[in-house]
Amino acid sequence: MNLPEFSATASIAAVANVYESDLLLDQYLLFHYGTADDQLPYAEGPREALFYPVRCVSEFAPAIGPIERALDLGCAVGRSTFELSRWATAVIGVDLSARFIAAAESVRETGRVEIRRLEEGELTTRLTRSLPPGLHPERCRFEIGDATDMRKDIGQFQLVLAANLLDRVRSPVRLLNSFRALIRSGGHLILSSPYTWLEEFTPRSEWVGGRYNSGGKAIPSLEGITRLLATDFELLLTTDVPFLLREHARKFQWSVAQATVWKRS
């Protein structure tokens, strides 16, 4: 029966489009550029989980210090790329979504962002927000690209950030193996992921963790990641980074990513 093959193709097409949709574009613009009250206008709620794209940089970059080149893989609409420009003199943000990259580029050019915030049903509110001071958009460049198959002449970086990307690519092994060439000796990798493994993004056979091996042994994601990185990287830090993604006025996703910081030997 051909049905499974057809569903696989259909689900790959759906995944290819999900980050091109209005819904996700609006969600990510708010996630990256909305104020605390824009995102969570309630007295209750995990405020410490706001500004994840900022914290993925601000919680780790100070210990790394000023650098020349940084790379933000799976940059979406670009906030972490701009945050990296506080530390690096040249930053490249790469994402597979042409719409996300166009939005990031528009923020870079204008310093402003138009956000359409979903309230309920088809009701939305329009917000205009600006890039905060202290960022250097002129140091940033955005490009469409596949993090698991980077253009050969992209060069090397002293810092690579991959936030919430590992469990969204088709081949996490390829992604993890690519860091060896992308990161200069002595450079750093910030890898953050909630390990939400889903077959519509990553075939089960490609999951680096969150599964049982053929002998029935449980392989946590950090163990699978370490197995692939340990020959070229030293694990410096492991920590939890909660984040809150607003779906609409009364529905939020609260997740806890695990961030690891690695140093290239």
Ligand X SMILES: C[S@@+](CC[C@H](N)C(=O)[O-])C[C@H]1O[C@@H](n2cnc3c(N)ncnc32)[C@H](O)[C@@H]1O
Residue ranges that bind ligand X, judged by CB under 6 A: 19, 31, 53, 74-76, 94-97, 100, 146-148, 163-165, 168-169
**DSSP, residue by residue, 146-200:** -TTS--GGG--EEEEEEES-GGGSS-HHHHHHHHHHHEEEEEEEEEEE-----TT
| Calpha distance 213→202 (Å, rounded) | 17
Instruction: Kindly state the smallest distance separating residue 3's Cβ from ligand X, in Å.
Output: 26
Measured in Å, how far apart are the chain's first and last C-alpha atoms? 50
Instruction: Kindly state the smallest distance separating residue 198's Cβ from ligand X, in Å.
Output: 11
Instruction: Kindly state the smallest distance separating residue 228's Cβ from ligand X, in Å.
Output: 17
Residue number, 84 or 96, with CB nearest to ligand X: 96
Residue number, 245 or 249, with CB nearest to ligand X: 245
Residue number, 169 or 183, with CB nearest to ligand X: 169
Instruction: Kindly state the smallest distance separating residue 53's Cβ from ligand X, in Å.
Output: 5
Q: Which residue is nearest to ligand X (CB)?
A: 74
Residue number, 26 or 146, with CB nearest to ligand X: 146
Pairing of strands 157-163, 233-248: unpaired
| Calpha distance 79→131 (Å, rounded) | 9
Residue reference for tokens 């489009």: 17
Instruction: Kindly state the smallest distance separating residue 193's Cβ from ligand X, in Å.
Output: 9
Instruction: Kindly state the smallest distance separating residue 119's Cβ from ligand X, in Å.
Output: 21
Distances (CA, A) of 255 to 7, 164, 167: 28, 11, 14
Residue number, 77 or 218, with CB nearest to ligand X: 77
Nearest residue to 68 (alpha-carbon basis) of 137, 139, 135 = 139
Residue number, 75 or 159, with CB nearest to ligand X: 75
| Calpha distance 56→239 (Å, rounded) | 11
CB-CB contact of 118 with 248 (8 Å): yes
